[in-house]
Structure 1
Amino acid sequence: MAEKFPIADSPGVNTTLSPEKAPHWLRSALDVTGEDVVEIIGKRAQQDVLPSPKSAAVLMLLGGTSADDATVLLTHRSPHLRSHSGQIAFPGGKIDSTDVNLIDAALREAWEETGLDRTSITPLAHWGETFVPVRGNRINAVLAHWHTPGTVGVVNPEEADDVFVLPVEELLAPENRMMLAWDYWTTPAFRVNGYVIWGFTAAALTTLFLKTGWEQEWDQTPRLDLRAVIAASRNNERRV
């Protein structure tokens, strides 16, 4: 493990946003807000849900030199976890009191889950806090550019049992897009490598594609049953 991943993290290092260093193909995504992502998620429940007292920070890490070769870092959360088990997600987790700020939290979590060297990335923007009504989650997405890609992988399978760098072109392919439905709620989703990407992660990716103009036309007419699609996937989710 010591040869594959950074031996230690560097808490407090590289925790300042540098939007001026954003590559030109990511600049249009710097001003996304949490409300933009919520609009994509849609309203899943009619009842009021109180926000969680704790916030989470996730790292939305884009690599590459242009939109044509762009990649994104994703994880598969272990089915044994109590929260969001089996889901495909950006590296991230709860903001601790010892974290310098939410950027520090996102980078710490990324190192813990994937072995990411925080000095290899440039934090570009904080999309603002996204309140996900269904469970009251408060999520802060940190958009970053992976200027010097390195090795990442599974560090602790009890937390994330799959880590992969996915070409964005696979997510944009119309055949990998779908709309999922549960009762009156619909939301965009992706199907890649046997996994289904939905929820906040899918909404954030969709928002990114719309803001950057990368979005390709795809058929949004079919409304596939959420639970049936998840059950037939590799996600192995304990709760939908």
Structure 2
Amino acid sequence: MTPDGDSRFSASELLRPQVRPPWLASLVDNVERVPHAYRRRVPKEMLTALEGARSQAEAARSGRDAAVLVLFSGPDADHPVDLVPEAADLLLTVRAGSLRHHAGQAAFPGGAADPGDLGPVYTALREAREETGIDPARLYPLATLERMFIPPSGFHVVPVLAYSPDPGPVAVVDESETAVVARVPLRAFVNPANRIMVCRSGAERRYAGPAFLLNEMLVWGFTGHVISAMLDVAGWAQEWDTEDVRELDEAMALVGKNSEEPL
């Protein structure tokens, strides 16, 4: 696998959904349901506002194409399909606090498309390599999610689901862009004790969205929504307290104080 723009391959030819291990089958085989699960937790008025912002951006031909890598790692051996393997994890970063957009936020590795990229799969692999040092040759892209518009950054983002039985070492490559690179146990996201709802006071439209309070990061916003939706579609989600709503600043202050991350 290479993201270096080899014109012999199209983006669709890079997708290999058949490689997914049994425990990822329910997610990959139903990936078209993720956008619906995503929108289910967004209030109607916010969905209307987001759709309006997307339409305006497309009419003005503004915004940039982007992609993020949603990389699952874990065993490729047989495993009960309704259980998450203890060794399974999800690759995340925390963006540097000095960045203009989404500073200090937990995020999937990824970014804006370059002119030489042959579609979102190439963009996601290239950006992930630049941010985390991961070797794309060890990864198997499985599927792409629906293109989503992110108003704060103006990006039209395509999440790219991928799998690796062993992704190799990852680390911060450029401290001016990335503060943390981590392979977070997938069970940490499943654990109801780590799940809260986060809202931002002072925002033009105030609403709460799903978030994950972990030892190294607070995962919220777009990334939190995508992970929450994937848990629902995969059948991994456990009942959690959706009435536990925290202000963003309050939740961020709790990072590192949560002892419930492992399941």
The TM-score normalised by the length of structure 1 is 0.85
Q: 1:140 aligned to 134, 155, 158, which one?
A: 158
| 1:206-236 C-alpha deviation (Å, 9 max, x unpaired) | 11100111111111112212243235547xx
Q: 1:71 aligned to 84, 89, 93, which one?
A: 89
Instruction: State how far apart, in whole Å, the 1-side matches of 2:16 and 2:101 are.
Output: 32
Structure 1 position 208 matched with structure 2 position 250 = no
Instruction: State how far apart, in whole Å, the 2-side matches of 1:55 and 1:227 are.
Output: 30
Q: 1:159 aligned to 177, 190, 202, which one?
A: 177
Instruction: State how far apart, in whole Å, the 2-side matches of 1:200 and 1:187 are.
Output: 9
Letter in 1 for 2:90: V
Given that residues 37 and 232 in structure 2 are in contact (C-alpha distance below 8 angstroms), is that contact kept between their aligned partners in structure 1? no
The TM-score normalised by the length of structure 2 is 0.78
Instruction: State how far apart, in whole Å, the 2-side matches of 1:176 and 1:164 are.
Output: 17
Given that residues 93 and 180 in structure 2 are in contact (C-alpha distance below 8 angstroms), is that contact kept between their aligned partners in structure 1? yes
Structure 1 position 230 matched with structure 2 position 240 = no
Shift in alpha-carbon separation, 1:86–1:45, aligned structure 2, 3 A: farther
Letter in 1 for 2:175: P
Given that residues 37 and 233 in structure 2 are in contact (C-alpha distance below 8 angstroms), is that contact kept between their aligned partners in structure 1? no
Structure 1 position 11 matched with structure 2 position 9 = no
Letter in 2 for 1:197: V
Instruction: State how far apart, in whole Å, the 1-side matches of 2:151 and 2:37 are.
Output: 14
Letter in 2 for 1:147: P
Letter in 2 for 1:27: A
**Match of 1:68, SS?**
coil
Shift in alpha-carbon separation, 1:192–1:44, aligned structure 2, 3 A: farther
Greater CA drift, 68-77 or 18-27: 18-27
Of Structure 1 and Structure 2, the greater helix share is in 2
Counterpart of 2:69 in structure 1 is: 59
Instruction: State how far apart, in whole Å, the 1-side matches of 2:39 and 2:103 are.
Output: 21
Instruction: State how far apart, in whole Å, the 2-side matches of 1:134 and 1:163 are.
Output: 23
Greater CA drift, 80-89 or 225-234: 225-234
Letter in 1 for 2:85: D
Deviation at 1:58, TM superposition (A): 0.1
Structure 1 position 98 matched with structure 2 position 96 = no
Given that residues 45 and 133 in structure 1 are in contact (C-alpha distance below 8 angstroms), is that contact kept between their aligned partners in structure 2? no
| 1:178-217 C-alpha deviation (Å, 9 max, x unpaired) | 0112464110100111421101111111111001111111
Deviation at 1:99, TM superposition (A): 0.6
Aligned length: 226
Given that residues 44 and 133 in structure 1 are in contact (C-alpha distance below 8 angstroms), is that contact kept between their aligned partners in structure 2? no
Structure 1 residue runs of 5 or longer lacking an equivalent are: 1-8, 235-240
